[in-house]
Structure 1
Amino acid sequence: MLLPVKVAHGVRDGTVSLAYRRWRRQDVEPGRVFTTVAGLVRVEDVAVVDPAAITDADALAAGWPDADRLRARLAGEESFPTYRVRLAWAGEDPRIALRESADLTDDDVAELDRRLERLDRAAAHGPWTLAYLRMIGERPEVRAPDLAASVGRETAPFKIDVRKLKNLGLTTSHAVGYSLSPRGAAYLERTRR
């Protein structure tokens, strides 16, 4: 479940506790935790609701100024059910601590080697992980479309690949572009790949 930046930060600071979505069928289950720009968010409850029953107080709890604007912005086919999703902040993004951990053991390096080699083998466009890490290290905070073009890739699939590196704690995302995390820099210094 994707949350806009403002809503994710609202869940974190407690000003947002609801989200409304139109889905063909329920897209998330209670108890699921997902990563947002503001940290981890947990789905507390999911229920089908009548959009006409959404109150201004409900809209405020979802980050909207009033119910009419919320209903007007509900995306999806109008015949689909409307779901009220109750949300709660579940803690910091664990990737933050991971990317700061630059004191890598030999086992850490071997495990990263194994995981990156697996990503390389699975890629239809060939091995990419070390090249992307080196490029990001040499060109920090450069726009993703520019980085993607430099390796002959479309922006969207390029960003998906970089997200895989971020999930391993090797890169950091910025308002524009990426940089190597301390963990990523340490890995590049230690790997023998």
Structure 2
Amino acid sequence: MLFKEIHLSGIKSGKITLAFRKWQKSSIKIGSLLHTAFGLVEIRKIETVNENDITDKDALNAGFADNNQLLKSFPHNSTGTIFKISLSYHSADPRIKLREQTQLSELQFTELKKKLERLDNQSKQGHWTKKVLLTIKDNPNLHAIGIAKLTGFEKEWLKLNIRKLKNLGLTISHTVGYELSPLGKTFVLRLKDEG
């Protein structure tokens, strides 16, 4: 579930407490915490509604001027059910604190290695994590297409899997491209020392 920056700002300040989406079926659950650029957003309640049930007050609470503006925000010719989602800002993204680490204990290093080995072993692409981390290290801010060309992996697959590295605190995503986080740089250095 994606949000525009202006809506994320409103959610963080508490001015926006609702979101409306038109889906074939709900893609989120009550209690879910969504990672966003502004931190974690908690899903508090989900209900289905008809267009006529959405009040101007609902629209205001979702960051729109009125019901009409909200309805126009749905993709043109979209079909499905309208979901009214109550939400709130939960906390800062814990991955930020994690990725800023520059020290790794032996235990933390071993745990991270195990997590990457699991990602490698679960992938149909085989061992990919080290190759991708080293490519990002050597080519900071390179976009997914460039990394795909250098590694031989398909772009969409790569984007999805770099997100897994980000969740471990190893990479940082920019508007264009990626770079290793301080934790990622420390980890890759330790990997190289091992040979």
Alignment partner, residue 61 of structure 1? 61
Give TM-score, length-normalised by structure 1: 0.90
Alignment partner, residue 156 of structure 1? 156
Post-superposition Cα deviations, 1:36-73, rounded to whole Å, max 9, x if no partner, equal 11110001222222211222332222122321121133
1:177 matched to 2:180? The reply is no
In the TM superposition, residue 121 of structure 1 has moved relative to its aligned partner by 1.4
1:149 partner amino acid: K
Q: Is the 8 A contact 2:131 2:151 kept in 1?
A: no
CA distance in 2, matches of 1:9, 1:148: 33
Alignment partner, residue 73 of structure 1? 73
CA distance in 1, matches of 2:131, 2:26: 40
Structure 1: give runs of 5+ residues left out of the alignment: none
Give TM-score, length-normalised by structure 2: 0.89
Query: What percentage of residue pairs aligned between the two structures are identical?
Result: 36
CA distance in 1, matches of 2:2, 2:174: 18
SS at match of 1:137: helix
CA distance in 1, matches of 2:33, 2:89: 9
CA distance in 2, matches of 1:121, 1:27: 28
CA distance in 2, matches of 1:170, 1:6: 28
Structure 2: give runs of 5+ residues left out of the alignment: none
In the TM superposition, residue 156 of structure 1 has moved relative to its aligned partner by 1.4
Compared CA separation, residues 146 and 14, structure 1 to 2 (3 A): same
CA distance in 2, matches of 1:173, 1:72: 31
> C-alpha root-mean-square deviation of aligned residues, in Å?
1.8
